A and B are shown apart, each in its own frame.
Chain A
Amino acid sequence: MEHSFFSTALVFLAAAVLFVPLAKKSGLGSVLGYLIAGVIIGPFVMGFVGKEGQDIMHFAEFGVVMMLFLIGLELEPELLWKLRKSILGLGGLQVVLTTIVIAGIAMLFNFVWQQALALGMVLALSSTAIVLQTLSEKGLMKTSAGQSAFSVLLFQDIAVIPMLALFPLLATIGNGGEKAADPHAVKTWVDGYPGWLHALIVLGSIAAIIAAGRIAVRPLLRIIAKTNMREIFTASALLIIVGIAVLMTQIGLSPALGSFLAGVVLANSEYRHELESDIEPFKGLLLGVFFIAVGASIDFNLVAAQYSQIILWVFILIAVKVGVLLFLGKFFKVSIEQNFIFSFSLAQVGEFAFVLFSFSLQQGILSAETTSLMTAVVAISMALTPLIILINEKFILPKVGTDEVEQRPADEIDEKNPVIIAGFGHFGSTIGRFLRANKIPATYLDLDSDRVDALRNMGFKVFYGDASRHELLQAAGADKAKIIIIAIDSPEKRLEMIETVKKHFPHLHMLVRAKNRFDAYELMNAGMLHIYRETLETSLRVGVDAMSLLGYRKYTAKRLAKNFMKYDEANMKYLSAIRNQEEYVIEARKYIEEIEETIQSDRQNLFFGGDMSWDPETLREEARANNSGTIG
């Protein structure tokens, strides 16, 4: 390397810090931010990074290994079982069908079948990072489109493993000529062994990882956790992954496969969350560096020379992917509207493509020209994601889907309801049912078109769409309403909605759902007066019932719970005013101590005579002191 380590780090970090927030702010997502940063510092714009970009890319590929470890950790058997139908059915068919169609098209472009198949597999994948982030930003994760997308992405993530295993096979039959040229080819332990012995060693190693995960790693982590040294725990988490990566490389298998296995083995262990939070920042940073390196390695000379090819491929890819997804969505009975959201959100190629392309280059499956071309195609397809989703929302959904504004016969008088409820999930629906039972007319807003259709059939007045949008609120009669109940699930959306209401409909009383204390603080800081923590009343009811079962009087337990709640709310107001984080921690600790003291004194008051309501101890003392005994 001509640059020193520090100057390289400086360039990468500065680029990331500068461009990722910019990309996020402009709605492009962090993956694109990293890619753009890479392009900017790369040889074709500013030239801070030259050839060593390739080296860094290989180093940063380790981020993908970590990502697979984390995916493994997330895969609890129960979750897999619950989603088995859509993961295997929808996800499996998506990968297989898309691979076949793209491979077929690639063969029309004169690729040999092994290359075509490799391209098909790589391009069939979508971007987990982009899609999940976009869908959750839009509050769509809980809709059927979101659930289907999650299942497909999960299957794709898992499918990467067999793909990595399959690629070497494609190379040995294909044009393995470039393999020798790869400087990163490692001499492994198994070189020179016959195939059957190789296979045996591979199987043995996998068995060893599973066995070690079950027998050795857990007790080891327990011992380390007991030392209470956080950095040693982090070190051992890294050690597990690096160890597996080395082992896998030595036996000629993908490190990603090994770490994925290790993740699955540890998914049910008690240290799962610690491992996750320890590895997560490393993974994020390494993946970021990886994306930057990808951006830096896009060969713009090539792009300029072959722009028509690239545009053609981008168009073909998006068309094929959306087409296959729409077909499958229909087959799996996703409603038309949800199907369009689902299909268009998964239209891009994912970040694994970069890994698989560099892997297939090493393995000598695809030529450097092809991978450069395709890397550009993939990056552009990712960059287009926000645009594709926008096109779907603006031009396609209004034609095929649930209308935002209900179609009503013109002669019907459209009286405006005094209450608007945003979000008809489990929280909003209870409010809605209660108001409806008492004949209080309300207008509903929801993001799930299936739910909207169902509610309309039941005779509710429902508008479909993003409740933080001014026009939708206007259409729902926000200017005439008195109250707006913000019951949507996503805290970010709630804050956005509050801003919109404050700006355009300041006369509305806002009643806002809050997830927890911290969420409630944000709402208080946003100036909200009516904040309802989801679980507060329910938890206290459980507390009251528990006390009652232990033999306390119900009425007393209820009074204690009410006192507790009053005190808690008062304290929330006080603490919300403190924005300084450090000060907050101190205050929060003080608050916990205070609450203990209050409850203690509440109890003493009530049970040992300090409570001045009903039969106070003071009255009895006074009566006993007064011999005439006339008080009463």
Chain B
Amino acid sequence: MMKKILVIFAHPVLEKSRVHKSLLHSISRLDHVTFNDLYENYPDFDIDVKREQQLLLAHDIIIWQFPFYWYSAPALLKQWQDLVLQHGWAYGKNGMALNGKKVFNVITSGGGMQAYQPDGYQHCTMSDLLRPYERTAALCHMAYWPPFWVPGTHKLEAAQIEEFGEKYRQLLIELGKGNLTDEEILPVNCINDLIEITKSNTA
């Protein structure tokens, strides 16, 4: 029985994006993955809270996928958090609906990996900047995994982008099969790194 994965995707101008288009294309044929396109479903920002909560309940692993604008997500994902993760449902004394689920970010950034270092251009690491998502996950009793991160997108060539897509696809297959444990996942910086490991392991 495959674990069910929910991709919650937020991109206001997907038609301009090269990387996200490619990432989405790579995972489009996976049966255990549900794709939830927020900007397409809610162009007016009025989110169907019941539907979103049902979706969350029906999946084991949640992904927040978005371009990393201004150290955060596009506005609609924030709206989604504000509306869907209700007190008494997702958090609070009786809010245990998401208990035990796994969650991680799939993000793209213009800056390269070396910029996100304490002594780099951004003065802090990506996991520092993703702290709000980590805390959200914790408050909602979910395990927060390290991100799948595509850095330096402006300079990526088509072949490199395709490689990220393939990695993303393999990651979701492995996660679906339950081949990766919390012990393996939690220590790494980026969940991408694990795929090369599994690749070389199987090779």
Contact = CB atoms under 8 A, between A and B. Distances in A.
Interface of A: 552-558, 606-607, 609, 611, 613-615, 619-620, 623-624, 628-632
B112 A611 contact: no
B43 A623 contact: no
A629 B155 CA distance: 8
Interface string B104-117: 00000111100100
B17 interface: yes
B67 interface: yes
B13 A629 contact: no
Given A614-B16, A624-B154, A629-B152, A555 B39 contact: yes
Given A623-B155, A630-B115, A632-B109, 16 more contacts: A553-B13, A553-B14, A553-B15, A553-B39, A554-B39, A555-B12, A556-B13, A607-B15, A614-B13, A624-B155, A629-B111, A629-B154, A630-B112, A632-B110, A632-B115, A632-B154
B121 interface: yes
Contacts of A623: 110, 154-155
Contacts, number: 72
Given A553-B39, A623-B154, A629-B152, A615 B111 contact: no
A552 B14 CA distance: 10
14 contacts: A555-B12, A556-B15, A607-B16, A613-B12, A614-B12, A614-B74, A620-B110, A629-B111, A629-B152, A629-B155, A630-B111, A630-B112, A632-B115, A632-B122
Interface string B135-163: 00000000000000001101100000000
Contacts of A609: 16
Contacts of A554: 39-40, 43
B15 A631 contact: no
A619 B17 CA distance: 13
B44 interface: yes
B44 A558 contact: yes
A555 B152 CA distance: 26
B69 interface: yes
B67 to A, nearest CB: 7
Nearest to B109: A632
B71 to A, nearest CB: 10
B77 to A, nearest CB: 13
A552 B13 CA distance: 10
Contacts of B40: 553-555
A615 B13 contact: yes
A44 B43 CA distance: 75
Contacts of B14: 553
A619 B111 CA distance: 11
Contacts of A611: 13, 16
- Going nearest first, the 3 A-B pairs with the smallest beta carbon separation are A632-B111, A632-B110, A623-B154
Interface in B32-81: 39-40, 43-44, 67-69, 74
B160 to A, nearest CB: 14
B39 A619 contact: no
Given A607-B15, A629-B152, A632-B115, A558 B69 contact: no
A629 B17 contact: no
A553 B121 CA distance: 34
Nearest to A609: B16
Contact of B154 (A552, A556, A613, A620): A620
A630 B121 contact: yes
A615 B15 CA distance: 11
A344 to B, nearest CB: 51
A607 B16 CA distance: 7
A537 B44 CA distance: 14
A71 B195 CA distance: 80
A557 B14 CA distance: 12
Nearest to B45: A555
B112 A619 contact: no
Nearest to B111: A632
Nearest to A619: B110
A469 B132 CA distance: 61
A606 B115 contact: no
A560 B110 CA distance: 27
B46 to A, nearest CB: 12
Nearest to B17: A615
A614 B122 CA distance: 20
> A554, A557, A619, A629: which has the most chain B beta carbons within 10 Å?
A629
B15 to A, nearest CB: 6
B47 to A, nearest CB: 13
Contacts of B120: 630
Contacts of B12: 555, 613-614
Contacts of A615: 13, 16-17, 67
Contacts of A629: 111-112, 115, 152, 154-155
A623 B39 CA distance: 27
Contacts of B115: 629-630, 632
Given A558-B44, A619-B154, A630-B111, A614 B69 contact: yes
Contacts of A607: 15-16
B43 A555 contact: yes
Contacts of B15: 552-553, 556, 606-607
A614 B73 CA distance: 12
A614 B14 CA distance: 10
A455 to B, nearest CB: 30
A29 B44 CA distance: 51
A619 B154 CA distance: 8
A552 B43 CA distance: 12
Contacts of B16: 607, 609, 611, 614-615
Contacts of B43: 554-555, 557-558
Nearest to A629: B112
> A553, A557, A613, A628: which has the most chain B beta carbons within 10 Å?
A553
Nearest to A554: B43
Interface in B12-34: 12-17
A279 to B, nearest CB: 49
A272 B175 CA distance: 69
B162 to A, nearest CB: 19
A553 B38 CA distance: 11
Contacts of A632: 68, 109-112, 115, 121-122, 151-152, 154
A631 B111 CA distance: 5
B43 to A, nearest CB: 4
A548 to B, nearest CB: 8
Contacts of A557: 43
Nearest to A628: B121
A619 B13 CA distance: 15
A554 B11 CA distance: 12
Contacts of B44: 558
A239 B189 CA distance: 89
Contacts of B110: 619-620, 623, 631-632
B89 to A, nearest CB: 26
Nearest to B112: A629
Interface in B111-135: 111-112, 115, 120-122
B133 to A, nearest CB: 18
A630 B155 CA distance: 11
A602 to B, nearest CB: 13
Contacts of A631: 110-111, 154
B153 to A, nearest CB: 8
Nearest to A621: B154
> A609, A619, A623: which has the most chain B beta carbons within 10 Å?
A623
